[in-house]
Chains A and B, each alone.
Chain A
Amino acid sequence: MNITTETVKAIDGVKLHQIKTDKYKTNTIVWKMKAPLSKDTVTLRALLPHVLESSSAAYPTTAKLRAYLDELYGASLYVDLSKKGEYHIISMTIEMANEKFLSDQTPLLRKAFELLSELLLRPLSNNGAFDREVVESEKRTLKQRIQAVNDDKMRYANLRLVQEMCKDEAYALHVHGELDDLPLITESSLYQYYERALAEDELDLYMIGDIDTNEVEQYVRELLPFKNRPVKEASLIRGNDSIEPETIKEEQDVKQAKLNIGYRTGINYGDPEYSALQIFNGIFGGFSHSKLFINVREKASLAYYVASRLESHKGLLMVMSGIDNSSYGQATSIIEEQLEEMRKGTFTEEEITQTKAVIQNQMLETMDTARGVAEVLYHNIVSQKKMDLTQWMNGMEAVIKEDIITVAKKVQLDTIYFLHGKEVQK
């Protein structure tokens, strides 16, 4: 087993995480900006990184910026947004070839840091405002990005479940922002928010590759000077103790119905019971050996996909499946029965061992990709816990059957969401 070693060092306002490894042909920089999820800022935050990655003072058009990236042996640059618990996170990733595999030995790493610095600190702007045309065209694309979820029914059903389930919580907000707020954003209001985000967000930089750690530290000091700032903490919402489950049915023009069921577990990443919750999820619905797959798909032939997953920083368990309109009753009762079996402890020691093996395998595989390493390590930032891979593995090993039953009993049904076509049976 190849355990990843992370060295962490705060350089003023930036926490630098370095993972030195020679297994990749590329070097990867992942830049993360974290702030509490809130209605006031969600759309600004969703738009900002797209404006920043489209141009800069030195590369005033996307064509010029992209031509420069191509010149750096197709360095890839992309941004994305995620919700982790009560936080909204902006990520910017630059991945470039390691020149030792090229016939041309131009040092690319320094250039990548210079570029990150350029994009973050020298955007295309004038008198406290971004370029108007850039902002307008990114607003248009963001609008399409928000609307795109309507055209992908699997994602749509998942989004609708979260909206219904968390309707009074910030977590219901769309990760790409809210359509209604988009027209109100101007090139100057976005610029003001940009200054605020750079001054207040919690900043982390992950550097993964065959690098010289002193050299990287030097680049960060020189090119990414950010002042120290206090970490803004969001209040943790664990949900009510007793829940009155709700059922929401929606009709649309679809051939396949989507059944999405949300449960509250009250257990978050970093909590003592989290390992047991992961194993619970694995036996219940996480894999192709799980109860849901065997009973809903293999035995009853009701679905092609049926699975459960955890929202690890929000304490939610989500089941999702695509079924026939007429299978609602049968599918929901099989899923409920399987959860009841979990609560009763109807699973073997062999299933526990098998599930632990698969989860550990999944973790090690994730650690084989640079992006995966950054995502796994970033859980520690979001949860404010310090767990390395060995501790994680040990925590997983220590779980016994009773722990899983205890967790299963905490899983409470919150909302059933059913998106169905026209000929639904009552």
Chain B
Amino acid sequence: MEQIAFDQLQEKLYYEKMANGLDVYVLPKHGFNKTFATFTTKYGSIDNHFVPLDKNGPVKVPDGIAHFLEHKMFEKEDGDVFQQFSRQGASANAFTSFTRTAYLFSSTSNVQENLTTLIDFVQDPYFTKETVEKEKGIIGQEITMYDDNPDWRLYYGLIANLYHHHPVKIDIAGTIASISDITKDMLYECYHTFYHPSNMLLFVVGPVEPEEIIAQVRKNQDSKNYSEQPSIERIFDQEPQTVAEKLSTLRMNVQTPKCMVGIKTNDASQQGAEMLKKELSLNVMLDLLFGKSTQHYNDLYREGLIDDTFSYDYSQESGFGFAMIGGDTSDPNKLAEKVKEILLQSTNGSNWDEAALQRSIKKKIGGFLRALNSPEYIANQFTRYSFNDMDLFQIVPILENLTLDDINQSAKELISEERMSVCQVLPK
């Protein structure tokens, strides 16, 4: 077991790689009632084209299968795992993102039992023809719920505009048509390919003794017969520099129009410290352009072009990355035009100075401290960072060392008219 201390933050992280390849991290949080644990596989909606374990050639699987698999993991021969967690006083959940599937519980008692339940249920798939068919009705309702949600449609609509081929453009839950093709055999094939411990990470945060937790997991894993697995071969098509669509408009049952401007990065190959620095400097740059303390924000607000739904963010994963800026607006065309104009003219560097940079860095550091109050943030983000070889606890030192040159360079690399797209939701 390794220990990594972060003195300024007064935190200590414990780590061990199990014999079967599983990464286990424990962050003790004394004073808290709750223990929160996530058990995550590096497998999400984008992993739809791969070479399955024990096969020679690649397969393409139906859209939405990773999410479908997540739902089906909770059902076992002897009943529902939710029931078992709640008998042990825990609440359990799961989510599927573009790149990850995470199973989690939180509890203030019976932590040992709950942790065993979490690990065991994720490592013991049980799919039958009947249970797979029954789930299609439930997920069908989940899909129609999102179909009616204009913010959801705007977000995914914009991603679909940005990308020609990359599977990030596919809805995580798939469509009613695509999930109708899913069979139990496909679920087993995906499961055996992506749920090997060497592709997974367990994170436990709460008022726990790290030695005990790690010993418990070690014993649990040693009792299971995992053989070594070759690394997973995932296939992605070459993505052009340009966007697939410059503009799309969706007519929906809304009263207030919505507008988002997106830019995709031309290079999403970075990992580790380089990727962390890029993500942080682009988020600082967006803050310098659109934060509440900027002239741009105040002008847009006064003109009535934005309201408190306005947001901006850059995020990247292996193979794709994009910035998104926008929200509800009275004039979606004018907002799109203004946001693009602000972005394009920012590459001359006249929007920021040293004082504004230092202020934004302070704001981000304070925001990070606030986030460290949240066990959910720590576990989820640490896992996301780790899957990209980044270290969550390097955020503060990297922020403190950002310079105006870094910001200028990031802006120049990201901002380009040909990689921008606009998505709007308009009243019918």
Contacts and interface: CB of A to CB of B under 8 A. Distances in A.
A74 B363 contact: yes
Nearest to A2: B33
A302 B137 contact: yes
B134 A25 contact: no
Contact of B255 (A23, A66, A151, A368): A151
Interface residues of A, number: 77
Contact of A95 (B30, B90, B298, B370): B370
Interface in B290-307: 291-295, 297-298, 301-302, 304, 307
Nearest to A371: B373
A305 interface: yes
Interface centre among B88, B148, B360, B363 (most CB of A within 10 A): B148
A350 interface: yes
A355 B147 CA distance: 33
Interface in A50-105: 61-64, 66-67, 69-76, 95-98, 101-103
Nearest to B6: A101
A289 B86 contact: yes
B412 interface: no
Contacts of A297: 138
B230 interface: no
A55 to B, nearest CB: 10
- What range describes how many residues of B lie at the interface? 35 or more
B254 interface: yes
Interface stretch (A116-124, A182-190, A250-258): A250-258
A25 B369 contact: yes
A365 B256 contact: no
Contacts of A192: none
A72 B366 contact: yes
Interface stretch (B104-112, B216-224, B241-249, B383-391): B104-112
A361 B108 contact: yes
B82 interface: yes
B366 A368 contact: no
B373 A24 contact: yes
Given A25-B372, A147-B255, A350 B87 contact: yes
A357 B87 contact: yes
Contacts of A67: 293, 359
Interface stretch (A33-41, A133-141, A307-315, A399-407): A133-141
B231 interface: no
A102 B365 contact: yes
Interface string A402-426: 0000000000000000000000000
B86 A287 contact: yes
B141 A256 contact: yes
Contacts of B401: none
B142 interface: yes
Contacts of B367: 74, 76
Contacts of A151: 150, 253-256
A72 B373 CA distance: 18
20 contacts: A1-B108, A2-B32, A63-B294, A63-B298, A72-B362, A74-B363, A76-B370, A97-B365, A101-B369, A102-B369, A144-B330, A145-B308, A255-B148, A288-B92, A298-B80, A301-B138, A304-B141, A357-B109, A368-B33, A368-B375
Given A66-B293, A140-B304, A254-B253, 8 more contacts: A1-B33, A26-B366, A76-B366, A144-B330, A252-B253, A256-B144, A361-B107, A362-B91
